[in-house]
A and B are shown apart, each in its own frame.
Chain A
């Protein structure tokens, strides 16, 4: 009973068991991720010319992207507008998206980060509003208005988040995005570096300095 003995030995040595267990699950996770990426790659290729496949991608990523933009902007209406822009840009540029090991989700997050930065830049200059963008997707749905009102009411209930967001929003954009991606979106440094197109070391130092600056603001 070799496996029984091995299990017993591992239980007797909790540290070793923990290490092997962690390594095992890391490997399992990486295999699953690779499988997911392969499937996603195939889906992205199909989505370039197939509405159903694009719909599948959209359904998969609408909620994460909307959530990310909402947690960056703390405004349901702005999140709604920016999410629309993100998916419109993704759709328009999908044929130019070439798989180079960067997950599709990272590409969407990158577009979203750019759109958020654009939104703040345009608002600060007070020149152009999102609504005046001639390329934006337009649709009228009376259900959306009432839905937005109840979503705004729901957002108001998250007082801790809103207070934290008010402080984060005082930081320069480069710190805001790494803090939100790391702590609110639960992204690892490697993924953040892929999304932002920055080196992992740069992201690490941005995160460190961002947290330090946030601490100063909150004091």
Chain B
């Protein structure tokens, strides 16, 4: 056989073009359920700093747009923002990064947590830190558990089963809609909700649950947000929006005392069954 003939044969041989639909579908599900795509919360110093600075700026702006601008508060906030920015570059522990590591370490090494989650801990995530305490979600071989840890005494205060959905991030701010009309205030919010269940879940809609005191003052704002997405374990979704509320006759402290404005987030979901 000549080389040209062989090349022609190679080029012209009819090739099998076989499709395995069931394998394709089953493999896709197995891959997506394997947990490699879990979105990791970015716990880096700059991200934490930006959160804190934004929070500080919000607080500073609140002082400026309040009924009676509180210059002392504004100046202190501005100073705090600067200190955080400088300290973050100079002393990384200031941002709470060290506290996160400590909280995770306390939870991971706790016998109570190991008993509840199983010895083989696969994932640890610190979802909140405040007043020397932290909430840590641990994924072990037996399932998900939430541990409350005391950073000062380095102990676990309690362990409970972790919910499939949890709020892992929250940013909110309040300010007057305009300088001419401070009777109408705007509450803006952003919540990040993380799904940790084992099954795929279809999220139809999500909405913040307002406190009863706050809901009586609401003037406008669409709460229900259509999502229509399928989530696998580790996925996060964000909900954000703004609510205008009536602040007529309320002083700044009255408004602050209204809080918490949101008690939680309502998620409307359905489990997704795999096609056999």
Which residues of A line the B interface, CB within 8 A?
49-52, 54-55, 58-59, 62-63, 66-67, 70-71, 76, 80, 83-84, 87-88, 91-92, 94, 137-139, 141-144, 147-148, 151, 154-155, 158, 160-161, 164, 179, 183-184, 211-212, 214-215, 218-219
**B9 within 8 Å of A (CB atoms):** yes
What residues of B have a CB within 8 angstroms of the CB of A160 in the complex?
Answer: 13-14
Nearest Cβ on chain B to A148's Cβ, whole angstroms: 7
Q: Name 13 interchain pairs, CB-CB below 8 A, sorted by A.
A: A54-B37, A55-B28, A58-B28, A67-B18, A71-B16, A80-B23, A83-B23, A87-B27, A88-B31, A92-B36, A141-B23, A161-B16, A164-B9
What residues of B have a CB within 8 angstroms of the CB of A94 in the complex?
Answer: 36
Interface residues of B in 178-211 (CB under 8 A from A): none
- Give complex CA distance A91, B10 in Å: 33
Q: Is the interface of A mostly helix, strand, loop or mixed?
A: helix
Which of B6, B23, B27, B40 interacts with A215 by CB under 8 Å? B6
Which residues of B line the A interface, CB within 8 A?
1, 3, 6-7, 9-11, 13-24, 26-32, 34, 36-37, 39-40, 229-232, 235, 276
- Give complex CA distance A94, B39 in Å: 13
Given A49-B37, A52-B229, A211-B6, A144:B22 Cβ within 8 A: yes
Given A144-B23, A179-B10, A161:B15 Cβ within 8 A: yes
- Give complex CA distance A212, B22 in Å: 40
Contact B16 A158 (CB under 8 A): yes
- Give complex CA distance A70, B39 in Å: 34
Given A139-B27, A161-B13, A215-B6, A54:B32 Cβ within 8 A: yes
Q: Is the interface of B mostly helix, strand, loop or mixed?
A: mixed
Nearest Cβ on chain B to A188's Cβ, whole angstroms: 14
Nearest Cβ on chain B to A66's Cβ, whole angstroms: 7
Given A92-B36, A144-B20, A147-B20, A138:B13 Cβ within 8 A: no
Nearest Cβ on chain A to B23's Cβ, whole angstroms: 5
- Give complex CA distance A74, B26 in Å: 22
Nearest Cβ on chain A to B265's Cβ, whole angstroms: 21
- Give complex CA distance A138, B29 in Å: 11
- Give complex CA distance A138, B13 in Å: 34
Residue of B with least CB distance to A71:
B15
What residues of B have a CB within 8 angstroms of the CB of A63 in the complex?
Answer: 19, 24
Contact A91 B15 (CB under 8 A): no
What residues of A have a CB within 8 angstroms of the CB of B20 in the complex?
Answer: 66, 76, 80, 144, 147-148, 151
